[in-house]
A = this chain, B = another copy of it.
Amino acid sequence: MAGGIGLGVRIASLDLKNPLIVASGVLGVSVGLMKRAEEAGAAAVTTKTTTLKERTGHPNPVIYELEYGLLNSMGLPNPGASEMGTVVRRAKEVLRVPVIASIGAAAPDEAVKIAEHLLAADAIELNASCPHAKGYGIEIMSDPGLVAEIVSALKSLPLPVFVKLSAHGDLRLVASKAIEAGADVLVAINTLKGMAINVWARRPVLGGVYGGLSGPAIHPVAVRAVYELYEEFPGFPIIGVGGVESWEEAVEFMLAGASAVGVASALRRGFEVIGSIVSGIREYLANEGFASVREMVGLAHRV
């Protein structure tokens, strides 16, 4: 019975066999990990955010595990756009699912330069929201005009442009500017800016002092962001990210208005979580009498 249910979704020009995407960061720059994610059932993979030049990221500790999530201050380590181009081309050779190339840039021309290395990818995702790397991310999101300029510059290239938003700053304003500038997909949300102090060391734990909070802790904030975006831009494609640990959070995102769902922190428990989320969605759809995953997108808004 569940076999007949349509799990496929189309986001911009990307055909996804199910709504589950591996979000940026957790697969690093490893083609091998991307392949494992695909084998585990992911419908698309996102690269680590690439900057133009290579970055080594923040010193260790870069991660702090909480009971209800993670704090990370990776600091956008990446080998730079040229090397990432090689990784993406290699990934496209060995993967059948779409590869989304995440980029971080502080100016339109820089963004285009980066993206030009990544034309083998199926989409460009502008990370407008990384909260712990100076000059990137949250700082560009606090300037909605700049986000719009970058998006419109990227639209000169032949790839769909995803814009990944932060829950800090004015979500709706940035989203509307991005959409006006031609963005094809909104991705919400990135991590929340947080930190932890060890009381015995009397010091911030993370090498970068500040870090990004992810996992279950941010899920209610992420659902709210997706719900608000859907309300403001009904029908516009949204990828919900933040605290998906089981099919239930994934379904919550879709009811809130996401067409697809990204997963990052949950992979710390192993890749098997991907399969269990996808089959959980399938079972839910069957139990609730849906014929396709698309039918449930945005349903929580119905009065």
Contacts and interface: CB of A to CB of B under 8 A. Distances in A.
A194 B300 contact: no
A220 B213 contact: yes
Given A68-B216, A68-B217, A202-B255, A197 B223 contact: yes
Contact of A192 (B71, B197, B221): B221
A223 B196 contact: yes
Nearest to A209: B227
A69 B193 CA distance: 18
Contacts of A1: none
A184 interface: no
A284 B197 CA distance: 15
A168 interface: yes
A255 to B, nearest CB: 5
A204 B211 CA distance: 30
A221 B213 contact: yes
A286 to B, nearest CB: 14
For this chain, the copies found in one complex come to 2
A227 B206 CA distance: 13
Nearest to A216: B68
Nearest to A201: B300
A75 to B, nearest CB: 16
Interface in A227-279: 227, 248, 251-252, 255-256
A140 to B, nearest CB: 15
A223 B194 contact: yes
A243 to B, nearest CB: 9
Given A67-B68, A299-B202, A195 B220 contact: yes
A300 B204 contact: yes
Given A168-B168, A194-B220, A210-B224, A248 B199 contact: yes
A288 to B, nearest CB: 8
Most buried by B among A66, A221, A284: A221
8 smallest CB-CB distances across A and B, nearest first, come from: A194-B220, A68-B68, A217-B217, A195-B224, A194-B221, A199-B251, A197-B252, A194-B224
Interface of A: 66-69, 71, 142, 167-168, 170, 192-197, 199, 202-204, 209-211, 213, 216-218, 220-221, 223-224, 227, 248, 251-252, 255-256, 284, 296, 299-300, 302
20 contacts: A66-B220, A68-B69, A167-B168, A192-B220, A192-B221, A193-B224, A194-B223, A195-B220, A195-B227, A196-B223, A197-B223, A197-B252, A199-B255, A202-B255, A202-B302, A204-B227, A213-B220, A213-B221, A217-B218, A217-B220
